[in-house]
Structure formats: structure tokens, C-alpha cells
Amino acid sequence: MRSERSYVAGLYARLDAERARVKGEYEAALRDDAGTAMERDVEVRALGREVKRLNVADNGLCFGRLDGVSGERCYVGRIGLFDEEDSYRPMLLDWRAPAARPFYVATGANPENMLRRRQFHTRGRQVVDFTDEVFGRPGAGGRGDAALLAAVSAPRGEGMRDIVATIQAEQDEIIRLDHPGVLVIEGGPGTGKTVVALHRVAYLLYTQRERMERHGVLVVGPNPAFLNHISRVLPSLGESDVVFMTTGDLVPGLRVTAEDTPEAARLKGSLSIVDVLAAAIADRQRLPEQPLPIDVGGVTVRIDAETAEWARDEARQSGLPHNEARAVFADIVGYVLTERAIARIGRGWLTREDRETWEKLRTELRRDLTNEAKFTAALDELWPILIPETLLAQLFSSAGRLRAAGAGEALWRADGDAWTVSDVPLLDELSELLGREKQDDRAAEKERKAQAAYAADVLDNLVSRKDSMDDEDHLFATDLLYAEDLAERFDERDTRDLAERAAADREWTYRHVVVDEAQELSEMDWRVLMRRCPGRSFTVVSDLAQRRSVAGATSWDAMLAPYVPSRWVYRSLSVNYRTPAEIMTVAAALLAEFAPDVQPPESVRASGVRPWSKQVTEDELPSAIEEFVHDEAGREGTGVVIGPPGVPGAVAPSETKGLEFDAVLVVAPDQILADGPRGAAELYVALTRATQRLGVLHQGPLPQVLIGLTSV
């Protein structure tokens, strides 16, 4: 024990020294005025990331040791540390390094050339105890679980904790999976699928840092409470270039204030809504009922239906978004009007053979036409500039416009701009179909993105060259530059960090996307996310049995095949680390009722506490809830009351998706079951949030599926 304490103390001394060195370089870089602004910016960013990485390593810096059969010994921890005085000998292996993998997967049956695995139990910077597994001994067939059981049985805090010290073999296989496309992680409650996905992000950032760091990672969750719950995991692993969003945040600045009916959500979530949106745009591309008079060069000419139809056909066939195609429409109409005006102005003295005069007059008249208010008004009437929010609001609040677009009455609402989550992918789609409102902005944006894309390609090629060379002393531009730095696309440097810039930019594309509670996302949601990640690199976290949304996934093959028909793989997690066996038995009975083909996850532990139910009257309900809250306030850990709308102090089951609490009180399970076609899934979610204690309060008879509860 003394030698281990001494070694770990040496690791902390090395960490402190490294932190002081990097902090000093960072502060010096902030003061340094030598070199270009770009060079200083690159250095400051790189050192800033390193400061953050070192600052999060204090808690559980080293959590284990591996002894190889060859006598080699290595320590495993949150980050890698090296002895500068001993040829940079590894003092501590980063948990993501290939050499650290046996720490998570070695067993007595497959020892991975290891003799022993030692797991440290620490308090602050001190090693207080350790447990050993010696491989090859009789009966040493699996991994010891003392550290795991201690972790899963510990009281919950404010947020999700990382599992870097207790990753299990089936989890490690998924974390390190070498797959460039879409990975679907399916697992029941408590299987750790969310935290596995986050550790996979940390692993990808470790192994593909040059490629991923420039674009960042997007994590999509079901609600803000869930995102807050998981937001500490990646920073605790030293990774900060991550954007956290709900699907309602995918259009920056939009405020969701309403909720759709199930039928409206189903219609909006289907890909068929794209045809409705296209038809709604086409409905605004009109022909004049009567010829529109326009004054040009002192004569009056008219935009008739035939001219407008020709211009409309050409604009539609251009393939440009609606707002950009307006220029095509205007060019055709303007050409016809100027030709007609020239013919009238030059009647009797000008012929087409006099090309020079004809062209000169055409140029002058076209300039006059551009400044003619009636011409601009005519364009606004026949081919108006459209804004996504305005178009969609007017569509949904007009029964006539809905009919014209081929949509049903289920989409009608009185307040057109009372936005719902299901509107977000529609607005994103309209942004693509409409394009920008100002053409000069669009051109500048295209040029900017083209420059950045070119720079990224250059850097990727340099990365490939660097990776293929044996000489590690070569230094390439990728060691110094970001793509946007190489492109030099800003007149003034954008000082926001990557996460801030990405969150504010609807057109930002990510290198990797994590989607949690993915079974709730519609076809249109996936269309948006695929647009955000052109490389189609996703980690998808799902439990189809918990699906609530009528527009959500029922089959991953059906949902993903349109985008990645041969680039998605499926992995499942079967062990429940959160829910004790006593509670899971009750939840499994409910699962068998509404999803008989789904196998419930197997709990790794029992708590020794039976889940209970109690029947109360309407008058007794508030005091029963208050009693639960009071009792839990005196315990260590967290508690929650889950129930339908109207229950005092309760949150809805959907708001607790992905969360966990030491104690859970479920109120009015019969009402939760009756809440629509997916009420059983909602109750299943509510029952499986508890890590220690579960109680149920009911006024009427207890639902038959819950008879496994102990009545009190």
C-alpha cells in the first residue's frame, strides 16, 4: 500500500508540474505580441485546451494498474503522463490508449497477456485501498465487480458521472468500435448506453483529434434537464468542443412554446411533409390575373400571364432555392419588358440590325427597370422573397393555403407562429428550399464555405501524409492551423469558442453527432441531423420499447436506410447497472404487457428494499407526497415525484427520460397508462428511474400489471 500511495503521489506531483508549465506558457502567449494574430490565436487556443484537460484530471487521476505476464507494469488513469527526465517514459496511460484496453476487457478466461489487474479506491489524492484480480487462478473466470458495485450503489449527485474507472467489457467494445458510419446502441433502462456514447465521443476525439476538433461534436438529447444531467461527463474527461442541443434548438433563436396533437406530430414528422412545403412555396410563385402595367423609358409595357409563366418555368428549372431563383424570374421578365419597350420606343427608326444602339438602349432601360417601384412591386407579388417562419406561420393558420399545398386540416392552428418541436425540422427544410433573403449574403457565404472546405481538405491531406510517415519529427501545418485559420476567412477574428460559434450557426456541420433517446426522433428530425453531419458519423442511443412519439422510430433499418444503407451497425447492451432487481422485476412485468418481444436488461445487483404501493384518497394524496419528499430530504442522494399533469410537485415521465434518482415516487399510474397509445411506455420510464427505492401512490385500483408491488 505504501509503495502505491507513493507512486500515485508522484503522479500528482508530475501533474502539478505539467499544469504549472502549461499555465505559464498560456499566460505568456496571452501577453506575447510577436508573430501574426493568427499564430497567437492558434497558440492560445491550443494551450487553453491543454489547461482545461489538466485541470479536470485531479479527481481520480489514477484508478488502476496492470501487471503483464512479461513483468511489465503500467498504471491507467484519466490522462497520459510522461517522465521528461527518463526519455518520456509513460508514467500513466490514458484510459483510451490501446495499451490500456486490457484493464477493461481482461478476464480469467481471456487474460490478454495480463497477470493482474489492480483497482484503486481513492479519496481525493490519496489511495485508501485497492483490490486485485489475479488471472489464471482457479475460479477467476470473470472480472471482479467490487469497484463497479460500489459505483452503481453510491448515492446520485446533481449530474451523470463518468465511468472511466469501471467501464465493463461489453461497454468497452462499443466505446472503441472502429466504425466510420452510424452506430446504434440499443439498451434498456440502466444499461449505461448514454454514458457509453459519451465515452465513445471522448475516445474518438483522442484517436481522431485533428479531424474532429475543427468541426466539433453535437450531442442531441430529449430535453434541457437531460442535457444538464449529462453535460459534466465530457468535460470531466477533458473534452470541451461539444455542443449540447435538443431538437428544438436546431434552428438558432427559435422559441418553442406549444405542443402538437399526436396526429399533427405524425404528419409533420413524415417525409411526405417535404412535398407539402414545396407546394406551399410553389403556391407563392404566381401568375397575374390581369396584365400588370410597368413604366419603362417613358412607355408602358405589361407583364402578362404568358410572360410570367415562361419566367416561372425557367426559375423553377434553375434548381436554385426560391429566393435565389427570383433573380432568374426577374431576368426573364425584365428581358421581355425591355424588348417590348425598345420596340415601341424605336418604332419607325430602330431595327434589330442596329445592334449597337439596340444593346445600348436595352442596358439603359434595364437599369431604369431595376429602379422602377412598380416592377419591384410586381416581383413581390409574383415571386416574393419568402422567410421560413413567415411562410410556415401563414400556411398553418390558413385552411385555404393548407388545401392548396395538399395538407390536411390536422395541421391548422389559430396562432400560426406558436412554434412546436415538430416545426423545427420544417423550418430547417424551408431554409434550404428558400435560400437566403439577400443574394450578396448568399454569395459571400458560399465563398466563405468554399474557402474553409478547401482549407479543411488541405489539412486532411496533410494529416494523411503525416500519419503515413515513420519520422515523427516532421512538423506539418496541421500542428499549427485550423481550417478557418488557413482560409483566413474573417476580416476580424471571431473570438467565440467552437461550441458558441456552432450553436449560433444553422449551417454549421459537425464531424460526429450523438443522438440520445433517438427512438423519439421523426423522419424529418433525421433529415435535419443528416444535413448537420455530411460525413454521416453518428452514435445513436435508443430503447425502442421506451418510444413515446407517434412519429418516432419503429425500425432502425427503415429509419437509417435512406441515408446510410450499408454504413450502420447495431450493438446492444444487456446489463442493467442502475435499477436494482426488485424494481426491475416490477418494470419487466409491465414491459411484457406492451412489448412482449423485448428482453428486459438483467440487473447486476439487488438493493434489499422492496418497491411498494399505497392506496390513498384524493384528500390524502398531497400529504402522502409531502411525506415522501420530507423523508427523502433527510437522506443522502436524490429523489423525484413523477406523475400526470395536475399532481402537485410532480414531473411528467417524459421529462425524466435518461435521468436517474435514488428514490422515485410514481403517482396515479392508471392515469399515466391512459395517456394515449404509448402510456405504458411512459409508465415503464417512470418505474425504471430509481436506483434504490420506488414507491407508488394510487387512488383507484392498482393496475393489474403492478401487482408485484408490496402493499403498505
For residues 591 and 440, which has the higher predicted lDDT (pLDDT)?
Answer: 591
Using CB atoms within 10 Å of the CB of residue 334, give its burial: 0 to 12 exposed, 13 to 18 middle, 19+ buried.
buried
Domain residue ranges of the chain, discontinuous segments joined by +:
1-166, 182-251+506-576, 262-282+387-434, 285-382, 438-467+474-505, 581-711
pLDDT, one tens digit per residue, over 324-367 is 999 999 999 999 999 999 888 888 787 878 888 888 888 899 99
Architecture of domain 581-711: 3-Layer(aba) Sandwich (3.40)
Higher pLDDT, 53 or 590: 590
Band (141; pLDDT cuts 50, 70, 90): very low
pLDDT at 448: 54
> Burial letters for 34-60: b for 16+ Cβ neighbours within 10 Å, e otherwise?
eeeebebbbbebbbbbbeebbebbeeb
Distance CA 103, CA 143 (A): 10
Contact predicate 445/436, CB 8 Å = yes
Distances (CA, A) of 631 to 606, 624, 711: 22, 11, 19
Residue 77 pairs in a beta bridge with 62, 94
Chain centroid to Cα 610, Å, comes to 37
Amino acid letter, residue 542: S
With CA atoms as reference, report the closest residue to 5 among 573, 569, 295, 13.
Answer: 13
- 603: closest CA among 621, 578, 620, 626? 578
Give the separation between CA 310 and CA 451, rounded to whole angstroms. Answer: 36
Sign of the torsion angle spanned by Cα atoms 462, 463, 469, 472: positive
Is 70 exceeded by the pLDDT of residue 259?
Answer: yes
C-alpha–C-alpha distance, residues 341 and 574, integer Å: 77
- Report how far residue 48's alpha carbon sits from residue 23's, in angstroms, rounded to the nearest whole number: 8
Q: Which CATH architecture has domain 182-251+506-576?
A: 3-Layer(aba) Sandwich (3.40)
Residue 561 backbone phi and psi in degrees, to 5: -55, -35
**Annotated binding-site members for ATP:** 187-194
Residue 476 has pLDDT above 50, yes or no: no
Decide: 662 and 637 in contact? Cβ < 8 Å: yes
Q: Which residues contact 336 (CB under 8 A, 6 or more apart)?
A: 303, 307, 310, 311
Tens of pLDDT, residues 80-120: 999 987 778 899 999 999 999 999 999 888 899 999 999 99
Query: How many angstroms separate the CA atoms of 87 and 597, rounded?
Result: 57
**Residue 81: Cβ within 10 Å count:** 24
- Helices 273-283 and 424-434 meet at what angle, rounded to 10? 50
User: Is 387 or 25 the better-scoring residue by pLDDT?
Assistant: 387
CA dihedral 206, 211, 214, 216 (to 10 degrees): -60
Contact 490, 451 (CB under 8 A): no
- When the pLDDT of each residue in the chain is averaged and rounded to a whole number, the result is 88
Q: Which three cell numbers stand for residue 325?
A: 431563383
The single-letter code of the amino acid at 148 is L
- What's the pLDDT at 458? 45
C-alpha cell belonging to residue 68: 503483464
pLDDT band at residue 688 using 50, 70 and 90 as cut-offs:
very high
Residue with cell 436494482: 580
- Are 163 and 173 in contact by the 8 Å Cβ rule? The answer is no
All 3 cell numbers of residue 532? 448537420
Mind listing the pLDDT tens digit for each residue in 578-587?
999 999 999 9
Asked if residue 460 has pLDDT above 60, the reply is: no
Cβ atoms of residues 544 and 519 within 8 Å:
yes
* Residue 663 near residue 637 (C-beta atoms within 8 A): yes
Measuring CA to CA, which residue among 553, 510, 514 is closest to residue 195? Answer: 514
Strands 512-515 and 217-221: parallel
**240 class by beta-carbon count within 10 Å (0-12 exposed, 13-18 middle, 19+ buried):** middle
468 pLDDT exceeds 50? no
Q: Tell me which residue of 120, 112, 108 sits closest to 75, measured CA to CA.
A: 120
Q: What is the pLDDT of residue 462?
A: 43
Counting residues of the chain whose pLDDT is more than 90, the rounded percentage is 69
Beta partners for 514? 219, 539
Looking at residue 288, the DSSP 8-state letter turns out to be -
Instruction: Please give the share of the chain, as a percent, with pLDDT higher than 70.
Output: 90
Question: The C-alpha cell of 242 is what?
Answer: 461539444
| Cα–Cα dist 668/673, whole Å | 9
Query: In this structure, what C-alpha cell is assigned to residue 348?
Result: 419607325
The size of the chain, in residues, is 712
Backbone angles phi, psi at 274, to 5 degrees: -60, -40
Do strands 538-542 and 182-187 pair parallel, antiparallel, or not at all (unpaired)? parallel
Distance, CA of 462 to CA of 664 (rounded, Å): 54
* Interstrand relation of 639-642 and 62-68 (parallel, antiparallel or unpaired): unpaired
Same fold, 182-251+506-576 and 581-711: yes
Binding site feature residues: 187-194
Contact residues for 410 (Cβ-Cβ < 8 A; gap 6+)? 261, 263, 264, 267
What is the rounded (10 degree) CA torsion for 547, 551, 552, 555?
110
d(CA 215, CA 234): 16
Look up the pTM and report it: 0.86
Which three-class secondary structure state does DSSP give residue 22?
helix
Nearest to 60 by CA among 145, 134, 120, 106: 120
pLDDT value at residue 154: 77
**Contact predicate 519/547, CB 8 Å:** yes
